Structure 1
Amino acid sequence: MTMINNTPQWQSLQSHLDLDLVEKNIAELFHNKQRFEDLSFEFEQLLLDFSKQKLTKDTLKKLIQLAHAVELPSQIHNLLTGKLVNTTENRPALHSALRMQESETLILAGENINQNIQTELKIMQAMIERITQGHWRGFSGKPITDIVNLGVGGSDLGPLLVCEALDEFKVNYANPVSVHFASTMDGSQVSSLFEKLNPETTLFVLVSKSFTTIDTLSNAASAKAWLMNHCQDERIINKQHFIGISTNEKKMAEWGIHRDHQLKLWDWVGGRFSLWSTVGLTIALKIGMGNFRQLLDGANALDKHFGQAELSNNLPVLFGLVGIWNANFLGISAQAILPYDARLKYFPSYLTQLEMESNGKSVTHAAEKIEYDTCPVLWGEVGPNAQHAFYQLLHQGTRKVACDFIAPVKRFAIAESEHDKALQEQHALTLANCFAQSRALMLGSQIESSQCEPSKFESSHQFYPGNQPSTTILLKELNPFSLGQLIALYEHKVFVMAAIWGINPFDQWGVELGKVMAKETLTAIKSETEINQFDGSTNGLMNYVKQQA
């Protein structure tokens, strides 16, 4: 099979860079007065501006030709219709099915899987109603007041992201309920929660696709021990204080989760894509099922756009192709995620898993070693905070970094009171900083070119090279529907990049390796004998720990 980098389309892009762009900086490309209009694209709640990227309309045309070379439209169709796109595990990747509307149909193995999805959502809704109406009670008969989500990876990052981002949409129930999250294996998060929560009124949600995840089960075991300090009836504790969400009904039952308190997942849902399913229980508890459905509807609308729009006007496709351009032609191996809204503070963390766990691969579907770079390293922070931290590297460091600036256009209502006016002014200040930073990264010291010749100051401590590429993503406002579209945009971007690279974005064997090795080291570190069966460093570290015990 021909590697993508050996195709005529790839070679055409390389020639285009060498002949037309390599000697130019991004600022020069704005001699085209129509550049923003040519390189910004809109769909419903989203606007994507690629005009501060080092590319032209011709670049996008050639990238689309590259997409056709790998038959991207067919690959998108296969993804959305349930074909076996997860080739190493021989199954579909149907997270898009989780956000279908009730009237839609998708047949998989002769079965309309949307009926099963909707059934689980209705079971979840009934659980939420019991909890929020005060009918779900703990071992002492008091109504549940606190829900703790125990998960790791996507089972934690997805719900945590959405609950934080949509905090202002939380529902004031007759029986007030607060949601909390604990994911770390070391127990520090759960122990902190134990200090402030009431065991009589706390309900734990165990989220594990396989129900074998050691991080989650360790926290769950600690939670059960905490509860049983106050009630020794394990049957009541299991039934009244735990909900399980998994593909593995047998394991849930063996652990003690009551059958009526189990919610189902399917093996065609990857953990990092699972917030749309019953894994979103904590989301729906916080913002209500109506708003949760709006989140699903936003993603569903983006799914339809992804599946139906021409490649030349398809936001996830263009977003992914720009990522390919930066990573493989401009040699940019780092990506910063910079939301200019504190409600999105967990979005960078969410995307680090989504992109790097999906596309951190070095072999193709055919298990051939790849000859080109794949996923860049992602990191990020809320933009205004990051300005006082790592923007120094972005502006004056030696590395090229591609940046995604993300901001809502509207934040607060039209000002009426002095308080409202102050908040509106803060939002204007935030947007001003967002646009100023992307402009400064692009222009560098050219901003001051009317007063001085930047080339004369290239050795100066106050010289800014500029020419750092960025994409700006604007949401009309941040609400459940637009957040659904934003998350789905990045999900499909990841798939587009994987399709071009010829890799499987739906497995994560690298994650599994560490889990297997941890079993060996755990056995050794708990033994009473000196450890000498591993490498010198591991032996030395573990023996040191044993000596200090």
Structure 2
Amino acid sequence: MLSAKAAKSLAEEAAGLNGLHLRDLLADSARSRGLVYELGDLRVDLSRQKLRTETVAMLLELASQTGLAEKIEALFAGAHINRSEDRAVVHMAQRAEARVESAEYAGLAAFADTVRDSDITDVINIGIGGSDLGPAMVSAALASHADGPAVHYVSNVDPAHLHDVLAGCTPDTTLVITTSKTFTTAETMRNAALARDWLGGRGPGMAAVTAAPKVARDWGVAEDRIFDFDEGVGGRYSLWSAVGLPVMIGIGPDHFAGMLAGAAAMDEHFRTAPFEANLPVLMGMMRVWNRNFMGHAAHGIMPYDQRLHLLPAWAQQLEMESNGKSVTLEGAAIGHATTPVIWGTAGTGCQHSFFQALHQGTDIVPLDILLPLRPTGLHLDGDWAASHRVLAANALAQAEALAVGSPNEAEPHRHFAGDRPSSVISWEASTPFAVGRLLALYEHVTVVSGFVWGLNSFDQWGVELGKVMAKRVEAVLDGSADADGFSATASDLLDRISAPSSGD
């Protein structure tokens, strides 16, 4: 990427912009309004990013020189762009109209309705990574639309996680869904076995969501309770597939279809819109701009919508598992930075924890500030609209304060340098359609930056070494292997773990 002619021009552009302050750039109203982009009620405001309109043109030229258009075309054409696994990338097909009209989707929806119409009071989804983060995030995001059984998510092999959920449920009225692409994920299957023991053959029992239905059958799940999905659907991109079953049970098939429709609308925009008006392309190139040319190693996502409080964790996996790579598609070393560290939490709580560092710390962290313009699902009496106006005021105030600052050389502790970039992303209300559209936007942002960086955003080999090492450690702890080959301090900790506790 950095060898492209446009990259050299962008490096010069970045050096020149370092001498300008965001408050000066924002003083140009024509520039500012020219950096606002829309798709329906979804608005992406890039005016507080450290760039000029000419910078955007240069970034799009870099996109052209790195073959972005051709790569997007290959993605939608079903080419095997996941080269290391020799697979097409098919998660977008999971939200296409054809899938919603398919027999597979009808079967999934019928099962969800059966559960919703039964005496089942609780549904527990056991999964980890993409089998947990996406569905759990959407269940929280669309909680105001939930009218089915209570849905719980268990991911951690820490026994307290499953235990504390089970303690609040009754086997006779609880359905357990085990969600695992391979149906061999160690943490998930250990939790699933514990849940099966807890059920004791009573009540609704278990269901499975997997790309390995035979393995699920062999494990003991009934054939009519196994819901499969294509192996080309990566875990972190899978919430649209049968992996979304617990979400569908909670909010109903109609609302789930609305979420899919929002995502499909973003897919079509991404596929057809010219780059100068294409929201995923523009935001993806912002990711490249801030990481590679402005030198920012982290990126914050701050949803000013409490129900979206899990979105940063979902986006963290999405971006860092997809683009946390150091080799190209061909296996050569990458000579430039790739994914930033993604983090964040919901506003306004974040303002009273780490925003001190964002305003006055030594590192500059670009932000996405997310804001629905209207509240949803507030049915109790009260002036909820007034509270939402306070929420919106805080979101906009933070964006402005970070950019403009408040100089005070006389009192250094009260000096706010400003010049800290953010994008403000707003939409009318957090409906299922709007949430689906927003999540698909972030998926495509990840894909765009990965394409430009020249890596494979659809594999995750870096996850594997830890799994292998964990099995070695487990073998030591269960006495089937010794600690040879481990570091001295690892051996010491293994001895401590194995020693009887003081209560034994």
Alpha-carbon displacement from aligned partner over 1:317-353 (angstroms, at most 9, x marks no partner): 0000011000000000011111111011111111110
Counterparts of 2:307 and 2:27 in 1: how far apart (Å)? Answer: 36
Equivalent residue runs for 1:195-274 within 5 Å: 195-228=167-200, 231=201, 240-274=204-238
Opposite residue 516 of structure 1, the aligned amino acid is V
Contact 1:442 1:467 in 2 (8 A): yes
User: What secondary structure does 1:24 align onto?
Assistant: coil
Scaled by the length of structure 2, what TM-score is found?
0.96
Contact 1:336 1:379 in 2 (8 A): yes
Is 2:251 the partner of 1:287?
yes
Which of 298, 305, 327 aligns to 1:334? It is: 298
User: What secondary structure does 1:366 align onto?
Assistant: coil
Is 2:71 the partner of 1:92?
no
Do the aligned partners of residues 260 and 528 (structure 1) sit closer, same or farther apart at CA in structure 2, a change above 3 Å counting? closer
Opposite residue 402 of structure 1, the aligned amino acid is P
Alpha-carbon displacement from aligned partner over 1:109-148 (angstroms, at most 9, x marks no partner): xxxxx49x822211111111221222xxxxxxxx322110
Which of 442, 448, 464 aligns to 1:490? It is: 442
Is 2:410 the partner of 1:410?
no
Is 2:21 the partner of 1:25?
yes
Counterparts of 1:406 and 1:469 in 2: how far apart (Å)? Answer: 14
Which of 153, 165, 171 aligns to 1:193? It is: 165
Do the aligned partners of residues 468 and 90 (structure 1) sit closer, same or farther apart at CA in structure 2, a change above 3 Å counting? same
1:120 — aligned with what? Answer: 104
Alpha-carbon displacement from aligned partner over 1:298-328 (angstroms, at most 9, x marks no partner): 0000000000000000000000001100000
Opposite residue 388 of structure 2, the aligned amino acid is H
Q: How far has the Cα of 1:386 moved from its partner?
A: 0.5
Which of 421, 426, 433 aligns to 2:387? It is: 426
Alpha-carbon displacement from aligned partner over 1:514-540 (angstroms, at most 9, x marks no partner): 111111110011118863431112111
Contact 1:45 1:477 in 2 (8 A): no
Alpha-carbon displacement from aligned partner over 1:381-431 (angstroms, at most 9, x marks no partner): 11100000000110111001011100101115999x9x44x2111000000
Identity %: 37
Do the aligned partners of residues 409 and 283 (structure 1) sit closer, same or farther apart at CA in structure 2, a change above 3 Å counting? same
Counterparts of 2:376 and 2:227 in 1: how far apart (Å)? Answer: 37
Counterparts of 2:181 and 2:331 in 1: how far apart (Å)? Answer: 26
Opposite residue 171 of structure 2, the aligned amino acid is P
Which of 10, 13, 17 aligns to 2:10? It is: 13
1:158 — aligned with what? Answer: 134
Do the aligned partners of residues 204 and 317 (structure 1) sit closer, same or farther apart at CA in structure 2, a change above 3 Å counting? same
Contact 1:157 1:349 in 2 (8 A): yes
Contact 2:23 2:419 in 1 (8 A): yes
Is 2:67 the partner of 1:71?
yes
Q: How far has the Cα of 1:76 moved from its partner?
A: 0.8
Counterparts of 1:5 and 1:530 in 2: how far apart (Å)? Answer: 48
User: What secondary structure does 1:243 align onto?
Assistant: strand
Opposite residue 10 of structure 1, the aligned amino acid is A
1:105 — aligned with what? Answer: none
Highest CA radius of gyration, 1 or 2? Answer: 1
Q: How far has the Cα of 1:35 moved from its partner?
A: 2.4
Q: How far has the Cα of 1:196 moved from its partner?
A: 1.6
1:167 — aligned with what? Answer: 143
Is 2:488 the partner of 1:536?
yes
Do the aligned partners of residues 47 and 548 (structure 1) sit closer, same or farther apart at CA in structure 2, a change above 3 Å counting? same
Counterparts of 2:485 and 2:18 in 1: how far apart (Å)? Answer: 53
Counterparts of 2:13 and 2:295 in 1: how far apart (Å)? Answer: 15
2:274 — aligned with what? Answer: 310
Counterparts of 1:537 and 1:548 in 2: how far apart (Å)? Answer: 19
Counterparts of 2:350 and 2:493 in 1: how far apart (Å)? Answer: 35
Q: How far has the Cα of 1:31 moved from its partner?
A: 3.0
Q: How far has the Cα of 1:241 moved from its partner?
A: 0.7
Which of 132, 140, 162 aligns to 2:116? It is: 132
Alpha-carbon displacement from aligned partner over 1:31-57 (angstroms, at most 9, x marks no partner): 322123200100023100000000011
Do the aligned partners of residues 391 and 414 (structure 1) sit closer, same or farther apart at CA in structure 2, a change above 3 Å counting? closer
2:44 — aligned with what? Answer: 48
Larger CA deviation: 7-16 vs 477-486: 7-16
Do the aligned partners of residues 476 and 539 (structure 1) sit closer, same or farther apart at CA in structure 2, a change above 3 Å counting? same
Counterparts of 1:485 and 1:429 in 2: how far apart (Å)? Answer: 25
User: What secondary structure does 1:430 align onto?
Assistant: helix
Alpha-carbon displacement from aligned partner over 1:160-193 (angstroms, at most 9, x marks no partner): 111111111123xxxx522111111112121012
Q: How far has the Cα of 1:87 moved from its partner?
A: 1.1
1:62 — aligned with what? Answer: 58
Contact 1:533 1:539 in 2 (8 A): no
2:261 — aligned with what? Answer: 297
Counterparts of 1:350 and 1:413 in 2: how far apart (Å)? Answer: 23
Which of 145, 169, 183 aligns to 2:155? It is: 183
Counterparts of 2:216 and 2:392 in 1: how far apart (Å)? Answer: 47
Q: How far has the Cα of 1:15 moved from its partner?
A: 1.6
Counterparts of 1:510 and 1:498 in 2: how far apart (Å)? Answer: 16
Counterparts of 1:331 and 1:548 in 2: how far apart (Å)? Answer: 50
Counterparts of 1:414 and 1:58 in 2: how far apart (Å)? Answer: 44
Contact 1:120 1:278 in 2 (8 A): no
Alpha-carbon displacement from aligned partner over 1:415-459 (angstroms, at most 9, x marks no partner): 9x9x44x2111000000000001111111124xxxxxxx4x34x7
Do the aligned partners of residues 373 and 407 (structure 1) sit closer, same or farther apart at CA in structure 2, a change above 3 Å counting? same
Is 2:470 the partner of 1:500?
no
Contact 1:412 1:423 in 2 (8 A): no
Query: How many residues were matched structurally?
Result: 501
Contact 1:438 1:470 in 2 (8 A): yes
Alpha-carbon displacement from aligned partner over 1:76-100 (angstroms, at most 9, x marks no partner): 1111221111111110111111000
Do the aligned partners of residues 528 and 489 (structure 1) sit closer, same or farther apart at CA in structure 2, a change above 3 Å counting? closer
Which of 440, 445, 455 aligns to 2:406? It is: 445
User: What secondary structure does 1:383 align onto?
Assistant: coil
Counterparts of 1:308 and 1:498 in 2: how far apart (Å)? Answer: 19
Counterparts of 2:345 and 2:248 in 1: how far apart (Å)? Answer: 26
Counterparts of 2:498 and 2:207 in 1: how far apart (Å)? Answer: 37
Opposite residue 148 of structure 1, the aligned amino acid is I
Opposite residue 478 of structure 1, the aligned amino acid is S
User: What secondary structure does 2:132 align onto?
Assistant: helix
